[in-house]
């Protein structure tokens, strides 16, 4: 069940990426993230209160603030790069994050890295390389695209740390609390630059940002639930399924063709995720704090 829930969360995040790319093109990555955080807080606050939410303890609050700061940086840099690259290419480049996080899990969480988790991650990463090589090798990259690549890679490094703190956060807080406080702290840190960068989006763009906030909130809760019940190394390969959704969205929304390289990469990604699901160990009581 954690495997299926995490897969659903990644799928919703991929749809959110497409929606936020459109909003970022209209008002810039900073404003898209600033208003998405505000909408996210408005959506999650009533749900958190309705489910008996209480103000978190100091340690949990410190963890929320840390992940909120990381989230603000990684999301803004990702969407900044996303408006300079096609959706599929940006997602492909971001997939260095699970490989980094796999070994951060050993250092920061004390998890033992199993052979199956390593094999699954390498297969998933190989799939991304196949797809990325096929797409990026077809045309010469502009200077703007190169800056976009740099922003996506920075976001990927931050996302690796985010995945590890996601596991820690899920063990001390409910999914509703995680989603609310992550969005709240991300919005707080972004708002510090509002006097210089903030603008008021149009009605249509605000609608897109609100939709992105709703998708992000649901996805955060799904992923928090999953990471509270399974080790990070078992769920990390699922991150690669985002490319499947990116390829589909690129084909449907942006008329990007589904190439032979894409299909070959998808096969490797699915095999990797299947191996991860088969190799997942039984969840211990101390891992199910939610």
Task: Identify the pLDDT of residue 290.
Answer: 31
Distance CA 261, CA 139 (A): 15
What is the reported pLDDT for 139? 61
Q: How far apart are CA 131 and CA 180, in angstroms?
A: 35
How many residues are present in the chain?
290
Residue with tokens 């929304």: 253
- Pull the structure tokens for residue 200: 């008021």
Q: Exposed e or buried b for every residue in 14-49, given b needs 16+ CB within 10 A?
A: bbbbbbbbbbbebbbbbbbbbbbbbbbbebbeeebe
Name the DSSP class of 57: P
Evaluate the CA torsion angle 188, 194, 198, 201 in order and state its sign: positive
pLDDT, position 141: 61
Q: What confidence tens digit (pLDDT) does each residue in 4-55 have?
A: 888 999 999 889 988 998 899 999 999 999 999 999 899 989 989 988 888 9
Query: How does the average pLDDT of the chain come out, rounded?
Result: 82
Beta strands (DSSP E) in 97-238 are none
d(CA 270, CA 268): 6
pLDDT at site 277: 60
Answer yes or no: is pLDDT of 125 > 60.
Answer: yes
pLDDT in tens, 138-170: 666 678 878 888 898 899 889 888 877 877 777
Domain that residue 160 falls in: 2-287
d(CA 234, CA 228): 12
The count of other CB atoms within 10 Å of the CB of residue 267 is 13
**How many whole angstroms separate alpha carbon 151 and alpha carbon 139?**
20
pLDDT at 210 over 90: yes
Global pTM value: 0.78
Q: What does the pLDDT average to over 230-248?
A: 78
pLDDT at 288: 26
Point out the least confidently predicted range of 17-31, 38-52, 99-113, 219-233. 99-113
| Three-class DSSP labels, 60-102 | HHHHHHHHHHHHHHHHHHHHHHHCCCCHHHHHHHHCHHHHHHH
Q: What is the pLDDT of residue 116?
A: 76
How far apart are alpha carbons 171 and 68 in whole angstroms? Answer: 16
The number of distinct structural domains making up the chain is: 1
Bigger pLDDT: 213 vs 103: 213
pLDDT of the residue at 135: 59
Which tokens belong to 187?
A: 């919005």
Is pLDDT at 90 greater than 50 in this prediction? yes
């Amino acid at each position: 069940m954690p495997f299926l829930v995490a897969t659903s969360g990644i799928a919703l995040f991929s749809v959110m990426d497409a929606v936020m790319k459109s909003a970022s093109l209209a008002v810039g990555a900073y404003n898209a993230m600033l208003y998405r955080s505000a909408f996210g807080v408005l959506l999650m606050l009533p749900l958190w209160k309705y489910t008996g939410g209480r103000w978190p303890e100091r340690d949990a609050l410190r963890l929320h603030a840390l992940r909120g700061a990381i989230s603000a940086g990684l999301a803004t840099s990702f969407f900044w790069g996303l408006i300079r690259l096609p959706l599929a290419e940006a997602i492909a480049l971001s997939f260095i994050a699970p490989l980094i996080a796999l070994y951060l899990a050993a250092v920061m969480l004390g998890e033992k890295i199993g052979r199956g988790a390593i094999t699954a991650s390498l297969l998933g990463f190989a799939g991304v390389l196949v797809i990325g090589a096929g797409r990026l090798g077809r045309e010469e990259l502009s200077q703007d695209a190169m800056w976009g690549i740099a922003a996506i890679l920075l976001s990927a490094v931050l996302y690796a740390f985010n995945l590890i703190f996601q596991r820690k956060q899920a063990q001390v807080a409910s999914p509703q609390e995680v989603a609310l406080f992550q969005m709240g702290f991300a919005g707080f840190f972004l708002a510090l630059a509002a006097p210089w960068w903030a603008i008021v989006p149009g009605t249509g763009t605000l609608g897109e940002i609100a939709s992105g906030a709703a998708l992000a909130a649901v996805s955060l809760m799904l992923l928090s639930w999953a990471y509270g019940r399974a080790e990070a190394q078992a769920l990390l390969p699922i991150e690669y399924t985002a490319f499947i959704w990116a390829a589909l969205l690129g084909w449907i929304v942006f008329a990007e063709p589904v190439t032979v390289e894409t299909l070959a990469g998808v096969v490797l990604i699915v095999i990797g995720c299947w191996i991860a699901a088969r190799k997942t160990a039984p969840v211990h009581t101390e891992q199910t704090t939610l």
